[in-house]
Amino acid sequence: MEIIKPRTLSGFMELLPGKQIQFERMVAILRDTYASYGFAPLDTPAIEDAQILLAKGGGETEKQIYRFQKGDSDLALRFDLTVPLAKYVALHCNELAFPFRRFQISKVYRGERAQRGRFREFYQADIDIIGDGKLDILNEAEIPAIIYNVFKGFGLSRFQIRVNNRKILNGFYAMLELASKSGDIMRTVDKLDKIGPDKVRVILTDDCGLTQAQAEEILKFITITGSNAEVIAALEGYTGRNETFDLGLSELKAVTANLSAFGVPEENFAVDLTIARGLDYYTGTVYETTLLDHPEIGSVCSGGRYDNLAGYYIEKQLPGVGISIGLTRLFYVLDEQGLLNSALPCAPADALVLPMTADPGPAIALAQQLRGAGLRVQLYGEQKKFKQKMAYANKLGVPFAVLLGEDEIAEGMCSVKNMVSGQQLKLTPADAAAHIRAALAANDGPIISER
Amino acid sequence: MEIIKPRTLSGFMELLPGKQIQFERMVAILRDTYASYGFAPLDTPAIEDAQILLAKGGGETEKQIYRFQKGDSDLALRFDLTVPLAKYVALHCNELAFPFRRFQISKVYRGERAQRGRFREFYQADIDIIGDGKLDILNEAEIPAIIYNVFKGFGLSRFQIRVNNRKILNGFYAMLELASKSGDIMRTVDKLDKIGPDKVRVILTDDCGLTQAQAEEILKFITITGSNAEVIAALEGYTGRNETFDLGLSELKAVTANLSAFGVPEENFAVDLTIARGLDYYTGTVYETTLLDHPEIGSVCSGGRYDNLAGYYIEKQLPGVGISIGLTRLFYVLDEQGLLNSALPCAPADALVLPMTADPGPAIALAQQLRGAGLRVQLYGEQKKFKQKMAYANKLGVPFAVLLGEDEIAEGMCSVKNMVSGQQLKLTPADAAAHIRAALAANDGPIISER
């Protein structure tokens, strides 16, 4: 037979079992946290009609998309979870209760240039709340509060959710009579962290055509820093000049006040006037999330408020607020940085039952009993020498091997071997289960360990 | 703005939230059961290099595949989870411990003709055990035992796992000197249930060219029925004439004996000599699973033993045994037949907290407290009239609404309204959580309710 060399496409993450178990732990925390806030799980097709998926059209996205024909159909793979959500809500709006809250943790596809840490197939973990016509500002605080609980659930504390409001930015640029240039300005301002204020000033005057005074005003504005109360106090100084600005500030104040009510500590969120999140889509509160010890990674969780989710599909006005975690990239980065807690067991089983007799019956029964006590148990059925059995247990990385020979069977016992310490105890099956569970519980901890 | 009418492609399942929650319950039972037997979760890309995916080549599958170019790459969507497993094991064989046990619950893609109950994107829920060179017969009993536990976990009891062994069939046809015709014969015999023995006899003689005596021998053989012990006793009568047959019978005896040891009751599995499962791939034990009250559905879970998983990718001999549930189709059928337990709550939240005051702070705190007690809680933040709030709770289908007005806040209480009975109780937050949890527990039950 001709052999074809196996490979996995570049830009596609495929994990070994231990890493996959770590990844699944993150997904489980996301699911549980999202569900605990009353979000419904959603699962839309990975393939959609290309006309529908690209209704918004245009730009970089369209170049990256996987698009193909099948029969007469013009098909495409989803490149995010927001467009499929818009389609879903437009299609099913009579059957949904609004506000409609959904989470979706699914793969999306972008045929980007392959690059280290960039993926062509990657998970997004999204939550959105969609209103019918209106949506209360309270939702704009709840969304980052949920993200706070997700990150805390991962074991992170050194992160910051940065919050801004597009109305504040739009209102501010309108005050300076720069509304028409706000896109260029925001793109420039976005580079502040990377290139510093002097270079930003030069681009604003030379490339964007601002006066020196306008550039100074903008730099003064975007470099407003301090505690959230201090930033808000500084913003108060601009009120009364533009309605949009004033509305944005009142929204920002409501969001920061409610974030505290949701139990998010001051150190984990910050008003940051440099955050803008693209140009058209977002209309109010916007979010980015950074790992404080790894600013070079950029935002690991972003989103915001939008006024019209599904305008391409339906006349109905559907405002919403949502946020998205690029899970595959986050996992890759955490792994690269050595932040995944290596003390957590990554074996597919808590215990490996090794029959030492010809008849596997007693070992089958023992394994079933240990499973009944809540353990993940693999029964090893191969006819191998003892040494090979133990080598397998070691390679698998199981924390415990449970040996069952003639003696143990006669006594109604089993021998429980701790694969790390080497300690071996003869216990009843019930005691063995309790012993293993206690050891696993003692070894439990967060998914991420910050150093 | 031009409106594009939203739609979901035909042959692609997209569920409303309540149904999605039912679907997720099935997935959770699959995951938990597979994991409890020490299978590692696996997640391979949906897109693979087309050359690799189609290494085996040929036939119906190739016509159904979604295949497309991106840049210079010839890509295809996976059409099952077995070929990606073969690639994965071949690629990573030095890093895996054998036997390698993995489960994968993922979507696969087949561009079949659209048809009621047929899907182009559907979930498969697979488990496989892969050996390096050898794999003990015990695994061939464990696989159906796990499936038994999955189906029991769903709440099914009226199902039967039907077991046969390809070596018995191959050996039997060799005895009749019909080895070269065994493919045609098996395809004919497979129709026995549908067309009856007389028509099978006619096809065997007229189309397959068998003598009347050979056809009689085959009909006599495949209509051997009775208890498993009776069928095996009848098969004993054929021993000593063909080595392959004798080996197959000894394997079948081991599998049935071990299935009992694994706790699978006699009524949930049956030796069935008509099961063949395709022609080339399987080499030993084969399985099909039928719902006893719905034989028209056909097999809902099939698989078997194979001798060479990854021969297209690697020289190494990798025998294995696996089984696959076509989850999307199974869910569709269960729903169609009204077998999904409608008594289970399908709302995204256990409780909807309704603030009755301008300041949402106390309601935020209450919602957080109820979540801390393990409940899924949605906070309703919209400024609406009481009647509209209750209408929302009703449409969402939440079992409980929790009202928090000035009075309740002053007393440190909340009003818990049972949305089904209408009963309303004023309770402390802790008592409210206990009350709701008790009601939910009382309402718990299996996913599937057989009638």
> pLDDT tens-digit profile of A104-139?
999 999 997 777 778 999 999 999 999 999 999 999
Cβ within 8 Å of residue B157, ≥6 positions away: B268, B450
Q: What phi, psi does A48 have (nearest 5°)?
A: -130, 165
| Nearest CB to A376 within list B13, B23, B38 | B38
CB-based contact B123:B87 (threshold 8 Å): no
Interface test with A, best of B43, B134, B142 (most A CBs within 10 A): B43
CA neighbours within 13 Å on the CB side: how many for A244? 15
Interface test with A, best of B25, B78, B396, B404 (most A CBs within 10 A): B396
pLDDT band with cut points at 50, 70 and 90 for residue B57: confident
CB-based contact A181:A169 (threshold 8 Å): no
pLDDT band with cut points at 50, 70 and 90 for residue A292: very high
Question: From CA B268, how far away is CA B35, in angstroms rounded?
Answer: 22
pLDDT band with cut points at 50, 70 and 90 for residue B58: low
- Element holding B287 (H helix, E strand): strand B282-291
CB-based contact A110:A64 (threshold 8 Å): yes
Interface test with B, best of A3, A25, A102, A328 (most B CBs within 10 A): A3
Interface test with B, best of A13, A24, A47 (most B CBs within 10 A): A47
Q: Determine whether the interchain pair B68/A68 forms a contact, defined as Cβ–Cβ distance below 8 Å.
A: yes
Q: Determine whether the interchain pair A382/B131 forms a contact, defined as Cβ–Cβ distance below 8 Å.
A: yes
Question: From CA B407, how far away is CA A29, in angstroms rounded?
Answer: 36
Q: Determine whether the interchain pair B12/A111 forms a contact, defined as Cβ–Cβ distance below 8 Å.
A: no
Instruction: List C-alpha distances in Å: A29 to A19, A22, A36, A125, B185.
Output: 16, 11, 10, 11, 52
Q: Determine whether the interchain pair B142/A379 forms a contact, defined as Cβ–Cβ distance below 8 Å.
A: yes
The nearest alpha carbon in chain A to B69 belongs to A68
The nearest alpha carbon in chain B to A366 belongs to B262
- Element holding B55 (H helix, E strand): none
Query: How far, rounded to the nearest angstrom, does the alpha carbon of residue A23 sit from its chain's CA centroid?
Result: 11
Q: Determine whether the interchain pair B91/A6 forms a contact, defined as Cβ–Cβ distance below 8 Å.
A: yes
Residues of B in contact with A87 (CB under 8 A): 6-8
> Residues B6, B10, B15, CA angle at the centre, nearest 5°?
75
Q: Determine whether the interchain pair A381/B349 forms a contact, defined as Cβ–Cβ distance below 8 Å.
A: no
Å from B224 to nearest chain A CA? 29
Å from A373 to nearest chain B CA? 10
| DSSP assignment letter at B375 | -
Q: How confident is the model over A201-211, as pLDDT tens digits? A: 999 999 999 99
| Nearest CB to A378 within list B17, B52, B101 | B101
The pLDDT, as a whole number, for residue A58 is: 63
| Nearest CB to B360 within list A7, A138, A352 | A138
Proportion of chain A in helix, strand, coil states, percent, rounded to 5? 45, 20, 35
Question: From CA B448, how far away is CA B150, in angstroms rounded?
Answer: 12
Residues of A in contact with B348 (CB under 8 A): 35, 38-41, 101
**What amino acid occupies position B441?**
A
The nearest alpha carbon in chain A to B361 belongs to A261
> How much is the average pLDDT of A254-274?
94
Nearest to B33 by CA among B103, B93, B82, B85: B103
> How much is the average pLDDT of B196-221?
93
**Max Cα–Cα distance, chain A, nearest Å:** 92
Question: From CA B202, how far away is CA B219, in angstroms rounded?
Answer: 11
The nearest alpha carbon in chain A to B98 belongs to A392
The nearest alpha carbon in chain A to B46 belongs to A121
CB-based contact B223:B234 (threshold 8 Å): no
Average pLDDT, chain B: 94
Q: Determine whether the interchain pair B263/A368 forms a contact, defined as Cβ–Cβ distance below 8 Å.
A: yes
Q: Give the range among A381-390, B107-116, B152-161 with minimum mean pLDDT.
A: B107-116
Query: Does the pLDDT of residue A451 top 70, yes or no?
Result: no
pLDDT band with cut points at 50, 70 and 90 for residue A192: confident
Q: How confident is the model over A135-165, as pLDDT tens digits? A: 999 999 999 999 999 999 999 999 999 999 9
Query: Does the pLDDT of residue B451 top 70, yes or no?
Result: no
Query: Does the pLDDT of residue B112 top 90, yes or no?
Result: no
Question: Which structure tokens are listed for B425?
Answer: 């109780």
Q: Where are the alpha helices (DSSP H) in B176-211?
A: 182-189, 192-202
- For A250-284, give the DSSP string: HHHHHHHHHHHHTT--GGGEEE-TT---SSSSEEE
pLDDT band with cut points at 50, 70 and 90 for residue A174: very high
The pLDDT, as a whole number, for residue B1 is: 65
- Element holding B160 (H helix, E strand): strand B159-165
| Nearest CB to A21 within list B40, B75, B134 | B40
Average pLDDT, chain A: 94
**Residue A64, class by beta-carbon neighbours within 10 Å (0-12 exposed, 13-18 middle, 19+ buried)?**
middle
Q: What phi, psi does B395 have (nearest 5°)?
A: -65, -35
| Nearest CB to A95 within list B16, B69, B365 | B16
Q: Determine whether the interchain pair A37/B95 forms a contact, defined as Cβ–Cβ distance below 8 Å.
A: no
Peptide bond into A99 cis (omega under 30): yes
* pTM, 2 dp: 0.96
The pLDDT, as a whole number, for residue A1 is: 65
Question: From CA B66, how far away is CA A84, in angstroms rounded?
Answer: 20
The pLDDT, as a whole number, for residue A366 is: 97
> How much is the average pLDDT of A427-437?
98
> How much is the average pLDDT of A355-376?
96
Task: Work out whether the CA dihedral A43, A49, A55, A58 comes out positive or negative.
Answer: positive
Question: From CA A53, how far away is CA A75, in angstroms rounded?
Answer: 9
A-B CB pairs within 8 A amount to: 251
**What amino acid occupies position B151?**
F
Find the length of chain B: 451
Peptide bond into B41 cis (omega under 30): no
Q: Determine whether the interchain pair B7/A91 forms a contact, defined as Cβ–Cβ distance below 8 Å.
A: yes
Nearest to A451 by CA among A295, A342, A323: A342
Question: From CA A428, how far away is CA B129, in angstroms rounded?
Answer: 29
b/e per residue B272-300 (b: at least 16 CB within 10 A)? bbbbbbeeebbbbbbbbbbbeebeebebb
Question: From CA B88, how far away is CA B84, in angstroms rounded?
Answer: 6
Å from B395 to nearest chain A CA? 6
Q: How confident is the model over A42-77, as pLDDT tens digits? A: 999 999 999 999 988 766 778 899 999 998 899 999
Query: Does the pLDDT of residue A306 top 90, yes or no?
Result: yes
Q: How confident is the model over B86-106, as pLDDT tens digits? A: 999 999 999 999 999 999 999
- For A348-388, give the DSSP string: S-SEEEEE-SS--HHHHHHHHHHHHTT--EEE------HHH
Q: Determine whether the interchain pair A40/B20 forms a contact, defined as Cβ–Cβ distance below 8 Å.
A: yes
The pLDDT, as a whole number, for residue A2 is: 81
Question: From CA B284, how far away is CA B131, in angstroms rounded?
Answer: 15
- Element holding B334 (H helix, E strand): helix B327-336
Q: Determine whether the interchain pair A9/B136 forms a contact, defined as Cβ–Cβ distance below 8 Å.
A: no
CA end-to-end span of chain B:
52
Q: Determine whether the interchain pair B3/A349 forms a contact, defined as Cβ–Cβ distance below 8 Å.
A: no
Residue at token pair 């601002």? A210
Nearest to A248 by CA among A364, A343, A168, A320: A168
Å from B359 to nearest chain A CA? 10
